[in-house]
Amino acid sequence: MEKVKTDKREFIKYSTLGVLGLVLGGGMIFSPYVLKAENRLRPPGAVDEKKFLALCIKCGQCLQVCPYHSIKLTDMAHGHGIGTPYIDADERACYACNAVPCVLACPSGALDHHCEKPEDIRMGIAVLEFPDTCLAISKTPIPKGFNDKMHKYTNSVVNIHELEEKLLEKFDQFEGKACTLCADMCPIPNPLSAIEMVADSGGGQRPEIYSGCIGCGACQDVCPTTIASIVVKPRMTYDEYYSNKK
Ligand code: SF4
Ligand code: SF4
Ligand code: SF4
């Protein structure tokens, strides 16, 4: 009889825990935070987000071949696509490699193999989000230490690739000059199709974005202001963002 009571107590205890677990688990699964649409830069060639999440097998092949160490895998703090690759342009953008090796390495179709060259990439669109802080508009020279973030990131990786070193060499030469970094560091073969410094009404200059922008985020990465003045809107096209603004 005592055994039956004990079993009953155990049953009630574990049932309660089970229900609690379901409620908490359900809360996790259905919480607006976890369900919110991913809005991040995906690697070149990424198919639409829903399809991407279904196809990506989280193998990490794309990040292993990236010479700039641009691709990371999401963790719990980054939403429901845990383990999927993304790019944080504030840390290290995509630098649009010639043969787009990340796409070639993808075995699942999550990165579409039709994306064969830099011009085929369409990750988003650059936007001068904070013109008030742009050094070109305020005619402020690029300050000393502007390159600390980029060097720190490069020094944190295990195998620094020669392309990263070349990128830093080019970048370091801008100290003290008028800021044209976003335009001059744009990595695509024809950067003028994407971005150009134009005269600003205040006597300085400002970056103008064109439809050739591939949304690689390099301009955001190299922008020396504390919070990048120019940012990439993930997955947005030039027409979607600019058609009503110009
Ligand atoms: S194109 Fe090059 S830099 Fe950009 S994510 Fe792919 S491998 Fe990295
Ligand atoms: S303008 Fe910026 S986001 Fe667009 S292609 Fe050039 S560097 Fe990349
Ligand atoms: S990188 Fe471009 S957006 Fe950033 S401060 Fe320089 S000119 Fe302005």
Which of 56-60, 75-79, 130-134, 163-167 shows the lowest per-residue confidence on average (mean pLDDT)?
75-79
Q: Is residue 43 part of a domain?
A: no
* pLDDT tens per residue, range 89-104: 999 999 999 999 999 9
Q: Is residue 135 part of a domain?
A: yes
**Of all protein residues, whose CA lies closest to atom 4 belonging to ligand 2?**
213
Q: Is residue 58 part of a domain?
A: no
Average pLDDT in the 81-93 region?
94
Domain count, the chain: 1
Q: Is residue 69 part of a domain?
A: no
> Residue 66: CB within 6 Å of ligand 1?
yes
Q: Is residue 236 part of a domain?
A: yes
pLDDT at 38: 59
| pTM, to two decimals | 0.85
pLDDT at 77: 63
Which ligand 1 atom is at minimum distance from the Cα of 87?
5
pLDDT of 28 strictly over 80: no
**Of all protein residues, whose CA lies closest to atom 6 belonging to ligand 1?**
102
Q: Is residue 44 part of a domain?
A: no
Q: Which of 195, 209, 231 to mutate to test the pocket of ligand 2 (most atoms within 8 A of CB)?
A: 195
* Distance of CA 142 from the midpoint of ligand 1 (Å): 27
Q: Is residue 158 part of a domain?
A: yes
Closest-approaching ligand to the CA atom of 174: 3
pLDDT of 116 strictly over 80: yes
Q: Find the residues whose C-beta lies inside 6 A of ligand 3.
A: 128, 134-136, 179, 181-182, 207, 223, 225, 229-230
Question: Domain span at residue 202?
Answer: 121-242
Q: Is residue 231 part of a domain?
A: yes
Which of 54-58, 100-104, 227-231, 241-245 shows the lowest per-residue confidence on average (mean pLDDT)?
241-245
Map the chain to HEC letters.
CHHHHHHHHHHHHHHHHHHHHHHHHHHHHHCHHHHCCCCCECCCCECCHHHHHHHCCCCCHHHHHCCCCCEEECCHHHCCCCCCEEECCCCCCCCCCCCCHHHHHCCCCCECCCCCCHHHCCCEEEEECCHHHCCCCCCCECCCCCCHHHHHHHHHCCCCCHHHHHHHHHHHCCCCCECCHHHHCCCCCCHHHCEEEEECCCCCEEEEECCCCCCCCHHHHHCCCCCCCEEEEECCCHHHHHCCCC
